Homo-oligomer: A and B are copies of this chain.
Amino acid sequence: MRLISKKTDYAIKAICFIAEAKGRVVSVAELIREFDMPRPFLRKILQILKKSGILKSYKGQDGGFTLAIPAREIFVANLIKIFHGPIKLSRCVFKERLCSDVKTCALKVRIDTIETRVARELQSINIESLLK
């Protein structure tokens, strides 16, 4: 029951570092010199971020990554979604046999409220606000 997994955590740190490089291409080698992350795992994460349009990549010697979009437009909620899908704090109980059950629905309404609020807050945290 974690909002921030290793993947998200590594991704945030790497993106912050790349953002601070201000357009200079940053390689995985440089990132693992800076952070304590397993190289192949980080590579996989960066590849996913590239496919998701968060990073741009450059192959070949002196290759690496830059931001594909401004740091201000990258939100923590986006990253969580990329690695773990939509934020769903409770399963959809409506598919169950007893979906009309008052107890379940009364609870679902309240969990949904919490969920919406959490999602909104995560959507409000962008990478730019984590820099410096």
Which A residues contact B (CB, under 8 angstroms)?
A: 1-4, 6, 9, 12-13, 16, 35-36, 76, 80, 84, 87-91, 93, 96-98, 101-104, 106-107, 110-111, 113-115, 117-118, 121-122, 125, 129-132
> Which residue from B98, B113, B125 sits with its C-beta under 8 Å from A107?
B125
Q: Could you tell me the distance between the alpha carbons of A122 and B12 in the complex, rounded to whole angstroms?
A: 28
Q: A1-B3, A114-B3 are in contact. Are A13 and B87 (CB under 8 A)?
A: no
Q: A12-B103, A13-B101, A103-B130 are in contact. Are A3 and B111 (CB under 8 A)?
A: yes
Q: How many copies does the complex hold?
A: 2
Q: Are A76 and B107 in contact (CB under 8 A)?
A: yes
Chain B, Cβ-Cβ closest to A97: B36
